[in-house]
């Protein structure tokens, strides 16, 4: 048994999709979430900057004495996996679990991948998918405006601006005839209703945060690293910008209150 918390981090709010899945899969586990809301988005930054931010994020979580780290960020997963693999605790990212789920789901071997510019340019998902099945055809599309739309709460299926942006981005992938679409940024499942309506009911949407959370849960069970019976579940949230706006939106995504559990930190002095 291991009663330490699970560490999850992302550039902003998107990683909360993974936290929600962890809460459902492992309701007895404590979670420490770090959202780098003061420096979001990561996806438009240069590779060296992303890697520096990722290293800082992981170092912060390690100071919280976590027993595992989940990089709930497609951009970090595609550019800084080696940093995570060097941690002294189990490390998980979203690339492998999502690729495996998509490869298992597709029927026509045509898979779409959407993500930040950094994630798409890294070609990480294509490489992972082709390693699983060389016959898979991958159609990729960067969607840089999705993250700021989500961070600013333009998430309702009725939001016309979000729908127009989705139609512009997703048109080429839809026309390619994909039957499976990887939402290659953990912000994107938050607007999955809009994405799904644009793509059509026949296209399966793969949520990387969900797949990564399930993979982490399975590993902790295998390694007997779950919390012991009766351990009080706790959750703590850290951000690098004002916590009030984060808290209000986070509660919509998680479906419960996190009042009093969000703290702002200064990464330069941490």
Active centre residues (catalytic): 73, 185
| Separate counts of helices (H) and strands (E) for the chain | 12, 10
Q: Is the dihedral of CA 44, 45, 47, 52 positive or negative?
A: negative
In the DSSP assignment, the letter for residue 191 is: G
End-to-end CA distance of the chain: 30
Peptide bond into 114 cis (omega under 30): no
How far is the C-alpha of 216 from the C-alpha of 221, rounded, in Å? 9
Put the strands of the sheet holding 31-35 in their side by side order: 91-92, 68-71, 6-10, 31-35, 235-239, 262-264
Structure tokens at 196: 């799904």
Q: In a 10 Å sphere around its CB, with 0-12 CB exposed, 13-18 middle and 19+ buried, how is residue 196 labelled?
A: middle
């Amino acid at each position: 048994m291991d009663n330490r918390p699970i560490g999850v981090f992302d550039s902003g709010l998107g990683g909360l999709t993974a936290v929600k899945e962890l809460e459902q899969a492992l309701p007895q586990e404590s979670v420490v979430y770090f959202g780098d809301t003061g420096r979001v988005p990561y996806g438009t930054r240069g590779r060296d900057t992303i890697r520096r931010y990722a290293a800082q994020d992981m170092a912060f979580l390690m100071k919280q004495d976590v027993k595992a780290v989940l990089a709930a960020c497609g951009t970090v997963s595609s550019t800084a996996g080696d940093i995570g693999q060097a941690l002294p605790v189990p490390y998980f990212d979203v690339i492998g679990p999502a690729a495996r789920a998509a490869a298992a789901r597709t029927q026509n071997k045509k898979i779409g991948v959407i993500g930040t510019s950094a994630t798409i340019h890294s070609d990480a998902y294509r490489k992972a998918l082709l390693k699983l099945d060389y016959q898979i055809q991958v159609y990729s599309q960067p969607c840089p405006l999705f993250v700021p739309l989500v961070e600013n709460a333009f998430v309702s299926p009725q939001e016309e601006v979000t729908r127009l942006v989705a139609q512009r981005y997703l048109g080429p992938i839809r026309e390619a005839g994909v039957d499976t679409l990887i939402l290659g940024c953990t912000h994107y499942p938050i607007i999955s209703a809009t994405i799904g309506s644009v793509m059509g009911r026949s296209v399966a949407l793969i949520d990387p945060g969900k797949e990564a959370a399930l993979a982490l849960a399975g590993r902790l069970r295998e390694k007997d690293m779950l919390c012991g019976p009766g351990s009080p579940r706790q959750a703590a949230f850290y951000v690098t910008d004002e916590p009030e706006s984060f808290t209000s939106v986070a509660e919509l995504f998680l479906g419960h209150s996190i009042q009093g559990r969000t703290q702002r930190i200064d990464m330069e002095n941490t």
